[in-house]
């Protein structure tokens, strides 16, 4: 065999392999800012049910930029994110496509998905109030956080964190920017320490007596109290009471994890199939169990720890309409000097 | 200054043509070397160029807001952080290097390499470990309270580590080795003769240190400090965690929260200019000084024996940064790992993640050493303004935060892939998909752009210590540039090369932000695993990965120190 024919054969066979990779339809590629380990049980269940392999890459910042740069060649099928702002960002960056699916529309309440089908919420978390054990509040409004009687008593993570900007955006959407600013200044005046750390640090700081109350997401309560985060965190979780707050006029502020189908998804059908699987009863129960979230689907089972927090009454505002104010919320945090 | 550059300065030319030719002159270098170094620096500048593109796309509408609410705080915090970390790393790095070079005391030999150990601890890990250890309900304060007889943290607690001083202290503890390593090299080898002479003249130890040793080590201190400060300025893990709001934090929040990538790129470039200005000021300040020694024989410094309480004091002082910067956080990780192993066992994926990490770090290290050698060699052989600029520019990547750099790489990589695919299509083949984007090539590229500065710094310092008479002799004897590089410079630069490789390897192992954004699907390194655990909120399970990063980072540190010791004992034997 001459050198040229050998070379040709090698080229052809490697090209063949590449083509094989391209036509192998039984896979779906997932880009996610939601930590892949959290959704692994769900993806495993999907694979064992359908035989479709799920390839994942978990990233933090820059997912929309990466997909946009990859353009038409992007292998990404499904884009997952843990925050409504990030989901809206994806559709605004024009890296998603509209999906019409009766199954998705039936399972997901209209205020928790994009009207145009560009993104869908898959699980829900409430922004709850953690309090010291000696404080029992039967009800609490987000507006109360600015009440001067809590001066020096509140802990919270950075105002620029997505969980807080989403809440602030919600207040802007409800009451307008001027009132939101007043509220944020009031809250800032009540802080016991500089905003920072994570939601669980709020529980730990309450246990340490640094503050009396603070904001934290609902699933952290499950993670701490169940012992999934280790015995230390269990102590923090047991050191707090948890209240589901609401707006003075409205329900509880929630954020979501969700997903969107990529604009140039090479395996679009598989991506939609995966989305539909994720809102099935089976998968929704797994969401609740694996990460102590509220299922997005009405009637799906809750984890007992989360069920004990009381009935969640989600505020009726469309999430997309709240996320419109995310930038304004972030600028407000700057203006108030909240994180200083 | 070489004869050539002197000649250059003395020959004004009316038309500037000759000047241009001199600018590009590759007379002593060979065209191959010159083209290679030029191509290299262009490749390094690609992401910066693309960032500039992002920055130009911005309208600047956000600037009034940034100027009134964000940047004053960010500049103030950055300045304080740099000042604090700078003072700390210079004080620690040079005093420790002096102690282990000029004196002998019990444990000195072990300490002299153990002082490098904090290098292996990523800033995000030390921040997390101390937050846990130092927290009012953590082990330190709980024990202290029991000791002092307080019942509750409400009655007694120490100041919160989530603060500027905490951030300065923790970053200083893991960054001082950047100063310690090059300064120790200067003290133990280069400065030997002079210090011996000063001792013979009965100069007191204080006078020798402040009047002679420190000024001699100034270039090394400058190189090490600038690396440490760039790392501190770029740090996101520790600063965000500890609530310090540096320029880097404001770059991220401008991009992500204020939804303004062009604005973020503008701040990043502003930061780059500040860094360049600082470096230029330092270089300008010592423009009249020369540090290469004319002596033929470099004599290692003879160490004076410290006995009694002086020995104990030296031992204590040297142990302190090791304890705080390594033993405490590493011990914390061991404790957490132990708890975790009992709780849930070892994850099988860790082995492949370790392999991925080591492969990436090894490839990056070898390439960085090669490229930095090429650049420093080119700059030495043809000291043209062009080559000086090349070397400067090739180090710019270090002044850009990791994710921002990665964003700058995304576009060019994808563009390249698009071209390749177009080429395939034109030649009648099916497109092959993404070749560079989302591959380990992208990762190694990013690491190189980021860490080439470290290797450049070490090698530039290494080269500057070789007398130029060596080159002249070799060239007179008809040696080609390649042969000169291979047979003379490479062996003589080995110590500098090794310390460059150590720093690059350890830094690549710890790299998180660029890896997170650019890596392929189903591909994890130890750092991304750790980040994943942290994102899930199970930091403690990340302890195993963190411990592996630390352990793998230890290997090159130990290897390097053994090599250095061998060199040491060869050198000091009569």
Q: CA-to-CA distance for B190 and B184, rounded, in angstroms? A: 10
pLDDT at B27: 53
Whether the per-residue pLDDT at B574 is higher than 50: the answer is no
Are A327 and B258 spatial neighbours (Cβ–Cβ below 8 Å)? Answer: yes
Structural domain including A130 reads 126-253+315-335
CA distance B240 to B245: 7
Smallest Cα–Cα separation from B504: which of B449, B553, B454?
B454
Total number of domains in chain A:
2
**Measured between beta carbons, which residues in chain A are less than 8 angstroms from residue B523?**
57
Instruction: Give mean pLDDT, residues A313-328.
Output: 94
B24: how many CB neighbours lie within 10 A of its CB? 13
Question: Of B57, B256, B514, which to mutate for an interface test with A (greatest number of A Cβ within 10 Å)?
Answer: B256
**Same domain for A82 and A47?**
yes
How many other β-carbons are positioned within 10 Å of the β-carbon of residue B302? 12
**B62-71, B212-221, B504-513, B519-528, range with the lowest pLDDT:** B212-221
Q: Which of A15, A193, A230 sits opposite B339 (nearest CB)?
A: A230
User: What pLDDT is attached to residue B212?
Assistant: 82
C-alpha–C-alpha distance, residues A56 and A193, integer Å: 38
Between A22 and A206, the more confident residue is A206
Instruction: Quote the pLDDT of residue B6.
Output: 36
Contact in structure between B263 and B62 (CB atoms under 8 Å) = yes
Nearest chain B residue to A163 by CA distance is B257
Domain ranges of chain B: 62-291+304-342
Report the distance separating Cα A207 and Cα A131, nearest Å. Answer: 9
Residue in chain A closest to B246 (alpha carbons) equals A340
Give residue B564's pLDDT.
66
CA distance A164 to A83: 11
Who wins on pLDDT, B18 or A27?
A27
CA B127 vs. chain centroid, Å, equals 19
Question: Among candidates B237, B248, B245, which has minimal Cα distance to B128?
Answer: B237
- Please check whether residues A227 and A294 belong to one and the same domain: no
User: B14: pLDDT confidence band, cut at 50, 70 and 90?
Assistant: very low
Total length of chain B: 574
**How many Cβ pairs closer than 8 A exist between chain A and B?**
161
**For residue B23, what pLDDT is reported?**
46
Across the interface, whether the CB atoms of B537 and A58 are under 8 A apart is answered no
Most confident range, picked from A255-259, B14-18, B238-242: A255-259
Which whole-number Å values give the CA distances from B535 to A67, A220, B322, B532, in the listed order? 21, 12, 29, 5
DSSP strand E in chain A: where?
27-32, 53-58, 78-81, 120-132, 154-155, 213-217, 240-243, 254-261, 294-295
Average pLDDT over residues B101-114: 90
CB A316 within 8 A of CB A111: yes
What confidence score (pLDDT) does residue B1 get?
37
Residue B276 has pLDDT above 90, yes or no: no
Contact present, A326 and A174 (Cβ < 8 Å): no
| CA nearest to B212, candidates B293, B105, B295, B288 | B293
Confidence of residue B369 (pLDDT cuts 50, 70, 90): very high
Picking from A184, A190, A186, the residue whose alpha carbon sits closest to that of residue A213 is A190
Q: CA–CA separation, A27 vs A271, rounded Å?
A: 9
Mean pLDDT over the full length of chain B:
83
Same domain, A279 and A319: no
Whether A165 contacts chain B with CB within 8 A: yes
Do A116 and A180 belong to one domain? no
Tell me the H-state helices in B11-60.
Answer: 17-23, 31-57
For B104, B557, B560, the CA distances from B563, given in Å and listed in that order, are 20, 10, 5
According to DSSP, the residues that pair with A78 across neighbouring strands are A30, A261
B299 falls in which pLDDT band (50, 70, 90)?
Answer: low
Is A64 within the bounds of a domain?
Answer: yes
Decide which of A197 and B314 is more confident. B314
Rounded Cα–Cα distance for residues A38 and A41 (Å): 7
Instruction: Output DSSP code: residue A156.
Output: -
Q: Which position has the higher pLDDT, B199 or A304? A: A304
Is domain B62-291+304-342 given the CATH code 3.40.309.10 in the classification?
no
Segment B547-569, tens digit of pLDDT: 888 888 888 888 777 776 666 55
Q: How confident is the model at residue B15 (pLDDT cuts 50, 70, 90)?
A: very low
Q: How far apart are the first and last CA of chain A?
A: 73
Q: Chain A contact for B339, CB < 8 A?
A: yes
How far apart, in whole angstroms, are the C-alpha atoms of residue B48 and residue B37?
18
DSSP label at residue B264: H
What radius of gyration do chain A's Cα atoms show? 22
Q: Is the pLDDT of residue A331 over 90?
A: yes
pLDDT of the residue at B473 = 82
CATH code at A52? 3.40.190.10
Indicate whether A56 belongs to any domain.
yes
Counting DSSP H helices and E strands in chain A, the numbers are 15, 9
Radius of gyration for chain B, computed over Cα atoms and rounded to the nearest angstrom: 25
Please report which confidence band the pLDDT of residue B13 belongs to, taking 50, 70 and 90 as the band edges: very low
Calculate mean pLDDT across residues B185-198: 75
pLDDT for res B516: 87
d(C-alpha B7, C-alpha A340), whole Å: 56
Task: Give yes or no for a contact between A247 and A141, defined as CB atoms under 8 angstroms apart.
Answer: yes
A94 lies in the same domain as A166: no
**B536: closest chain A residue by CA:** A35
Residues A207 and A328 in one domain: yes
Nearest residue, CB atoms, A197 vs list B162, B261, B532: B162
Distance (Å, rounded) from C-alpha A46 to C-alpha B302? 69
Which pLDDT tens digit goes with each residue over A210-235? 999 999 999 999 999 998 877 888 99
- A108 and A141 belong to one structural domain: no
Please tell me whether residues A132 and A243 are part of one structural domain. Answer: yes
Please compute the mean of the pLDDT values over residues B481-505 and round it to a whole number. Answer: 84
Please compute the mean of the pLDDT values over residues B482-501 and round it to a whole number: 82
Reduce the secondary structure of B531-558 to three states and give it as a string: HHHHHHCCHHHHHHHHHHHHHHHHHHHH
Provide the 3-class DSSP secondary structure of residue A126: strand
CB contacts, 8 Å: B531 with chain A: 60
Give the up-direction half-sphere exposure of residue B6: CA atoms within 13 A in the CB hemisphere. 3
How is B139-186 classified by DSSP, letter by letter?
A: HHHHHHHHHHT---TTT--PPPSSSHHHHHHHHHHHHTHHHHHHHHHI
pLDDT at A9: 53
For residue B484, name the pLDDT band (cuts at 50, 70, 90).
Answer: confident
Q: Taking each helix axis as running N to C, give the angle between helix B177-185 and helix B218-234, from 0 to 180 degrees, rounded to the nearest 10.
A: 160
> What gap in Å lies between CA B15 and CA B18, rounded to an integer?
7
Please say whether the dihedral angle defined by the alpha carbons of residues B84, B85, B90 and B95, taken in this order, is positive or negative: positive
Q: Are residues A202 and A82 in the same domain?
A: no
d(CA A271, CA A28): 6
Mean pLDDT value across residues A70-89: 93
- Joined together, the tokens standing for residue A33 give 């800012």
Q: Please provide the average confidence, as pLDDT, over all residues in chain A.
A: 90
In this structure, the answer to whether residues A290 and A175 fall within a common structural domain is no
What was the pLDDT predicted at B189?
Answer: 67
- Choosing among B77, B434, B537, B544, which should be mutated to test the A contact, i.e. which has the most A CBs within 10 A? B537
pLDDT: is B125 or A147 the higher one? A147
Specify if A145 maps to a domain: yes
B152 falls in which pLDDT band (50, 70, 90)?
Answer: confident
Question: Residue A1 falls within a domain, yes or no?
Answer: no
User: What is the separation of C-alpha B400 from the centre of its chain, rounded to a whole number of angstroms?
Assistant: 12
For residue A20, the distance in angstroms to the closest alpha carbon of chain B comes to 11
pLDDT of residue B330: 92
- Is A203 in the same domain as A62? no
For residue B390, what pLDDT band results from cuts at 50, 70 and 90?
A: confident
Q: Mind telling me how many Å the CA of B82 is from chain A's nearest CA?
A: 18
Q: Which residues of B touch A71 (CB under 8 A)?
A: 414, 418
Whether A74 and A157 map to the same domain: the answer is no
Asked if A195 is an interface residue toward chain B (Cβ–Cβ < 8 A), one would say: yes
* B32 touching A (Cβ < 8 Å): no
Q: What is the mean pLDDT of residues B432-437?
A: 80
Query: What per-residue confidence (pLDDT) applies to A23?
Result: 43
CB B501 within 8 A of CB B459: no
Query: What's the distance, CA A315 to chain centroid?
Result: 17
């Amino acid at each position: 065999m001459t050198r040229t024919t050998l070379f040709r054969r090698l080229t052809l066979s490697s090209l063949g392999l590449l083509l094989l990779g391209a036509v192998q339809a039984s896979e779906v590629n997932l880009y996610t800012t939601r930590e892949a380990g959290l959704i692994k049980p769900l993806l495993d269940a999907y694979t064992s049910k359908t035989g479709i392999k799920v390839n994942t890459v978990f990233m933090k910042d820059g997912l929309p930029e990466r997909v946009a740069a990859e353009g038409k060649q992007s292998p990404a099928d499904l884009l997952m994110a843990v925050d409504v702002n990030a989901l809206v960002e994806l559709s605004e960056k024009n890296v998603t496509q509209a999906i019409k699916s009766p199954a998705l529309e039936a399972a997901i309440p209209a205020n928790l998905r994009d009207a145009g089908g560009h993104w869908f919420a898959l699980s829900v978390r409430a922004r709850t109030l953690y309090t010291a054990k000696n404080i029992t509040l039967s009800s609490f409004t987000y507006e109360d956080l600015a009440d001067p009687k809590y001066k020096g008593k509140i802990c919270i993570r950075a105002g620029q964190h997505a969980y807080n900007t989403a809440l602030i955006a919600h207040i802007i959407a409800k009451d307008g920017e001027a009132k939101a600013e007043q509220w944020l200044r009031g809250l800032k005046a009540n802080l016991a320490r500089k905003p920072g750390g994570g939601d669980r640090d709020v529980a730990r700081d309450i246990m340490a007596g640094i503050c009396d109350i603070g904001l934290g997401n609902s699933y952290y309560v499950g993670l701490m109290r169940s012992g999934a985060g280790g015995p230390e965190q269990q102590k923090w979780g047991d050191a707090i009471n948890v209240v589901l707050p609401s707006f003075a006029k409205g329900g509880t502020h929630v954020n979501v994890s969700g997903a969107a189908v990529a604009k140039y998804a090479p395996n679009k059908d598989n991506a939609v199939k995966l989305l539909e699987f994720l809102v099935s009863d089976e998968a929704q129960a797994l969401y609740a169990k694996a990460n102590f979230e509220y299922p997005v689907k009405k009637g799906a089972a809750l984890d007992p720890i989360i069920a004990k927090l009381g009935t969640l009454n989600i505020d009726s505002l469309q999430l997309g309409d709240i996320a419109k104010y995310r930038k304004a919320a972030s600028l407000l945090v700057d203006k108030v000097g909240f994180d200083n | 200054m070489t004869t050539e550059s002197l000649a250059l300065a003395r020959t004004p030319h009316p038309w500037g043509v000759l000047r241009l030719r001199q600018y590009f002159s590759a007379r002593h270098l060979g065209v191959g070397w010159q083209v290679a170094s030029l191509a290299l620096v262009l490749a390094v500048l690609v992401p910066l160029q693309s960032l500039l593109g992002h920055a130009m796309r911005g309208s600047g509408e956000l600037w009034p807001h940034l100027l009134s609410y964000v940047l004053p705080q960010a500049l103030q915090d950055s300045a304080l952080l740099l000042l604090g970390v700078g003072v700390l790393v210079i004080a620690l790095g040079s005093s420790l290097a002096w102690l282990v070079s000029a004196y002998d005391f019990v444990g000195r030999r072990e300490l002299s390499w153990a002082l490098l150990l904090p290098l292996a601890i990523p800033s995000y890990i030390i921040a997390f470990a101390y937050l846990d250890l130092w927290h009012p309900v953590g082990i330190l304060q709980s024990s202290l309270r029991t000791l002092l007889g307080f019942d509750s943290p409400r009655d007694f607690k120490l100041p919160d580590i989530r603060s500027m001083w905490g951030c300065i202290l923790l970053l200083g503890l893991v960054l001082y080795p950047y100063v310690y390593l090059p300064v120790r090299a200067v003290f133990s080898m280069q400065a030997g003769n002079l210090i011996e002479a000063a001792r013979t003249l009965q100069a007191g130890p204080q006078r020798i240190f402040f009047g002679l040793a420190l000024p001699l080590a100034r270039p090394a201190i400058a190189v090490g400090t600038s690396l440490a400060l760039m790392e501190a300025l770029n740090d996101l893990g520790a600063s965000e965690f500890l609530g310090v709001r540096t320029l880097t934090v404001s770059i991220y929040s401008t991009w992500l929260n204020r939804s303004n990538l062009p604005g973020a790129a503008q701040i990043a470039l502003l930061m780059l200019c500040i860094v360049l200005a600082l470096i230029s000021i330092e270089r300008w300040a010592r423009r009249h000084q020369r540090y290469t020694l004319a002596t033929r024989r470099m004599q290692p410094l003879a160490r004076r024996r410290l006995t009694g309480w002086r020995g104990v004091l030296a031992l204590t002082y040297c142990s302190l940064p090791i304890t705080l910067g390594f033993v405490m956080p590493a011990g914390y990780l061991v404790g957490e790992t132990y708890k975790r192993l009992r709780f849930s066992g070892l994850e099988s994926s860790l082995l492949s993640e370790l392999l991925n990490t080591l492969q990436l770090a090894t490839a990056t290290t070898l390439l960085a050493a090669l490229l930095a050698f090429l650049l420093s060699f080119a700059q030495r052989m043809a000291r043209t303004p062009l080559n000086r600029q090349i070397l400067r520019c090739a180090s710019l990547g270090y002044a850009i935060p990791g994710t921002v750099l990665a964003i700058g790489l995304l576009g060019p990589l994808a563009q390249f892939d698009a071209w390749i695919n177009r080429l395939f299509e034109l030649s009648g083949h099916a497109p092959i998909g993404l070749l560079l984007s989302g591959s380990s090539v992208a990762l190694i590229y990013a690491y190189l752009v980021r860490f080439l500065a470290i290797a450049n710094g070490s090698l530039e310092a290494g080269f500057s210590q070789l007398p130029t008479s060596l080159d002249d002799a070799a060239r007179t004897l008809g040696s080609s540039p390649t042969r000169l590089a291979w047979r003379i410079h490479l062996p003589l630069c080995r110590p500098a090369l090794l310390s460059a490789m150590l720093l690059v390897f350890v830094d690549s192992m710890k790299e998180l932000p660029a890896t997170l954004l650019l890596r392929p699907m189903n591909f994890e390194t130890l750092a991304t695993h750790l980040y994943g655990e942290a994102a899930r909120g199970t930091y403690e399970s990340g302890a195993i990965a963190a411990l592996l990063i630390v352990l793998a980072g230890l290997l090159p540190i130990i290897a390097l120190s053994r090599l250095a010791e061998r060199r040491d004992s060869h050198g000091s034997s009569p």
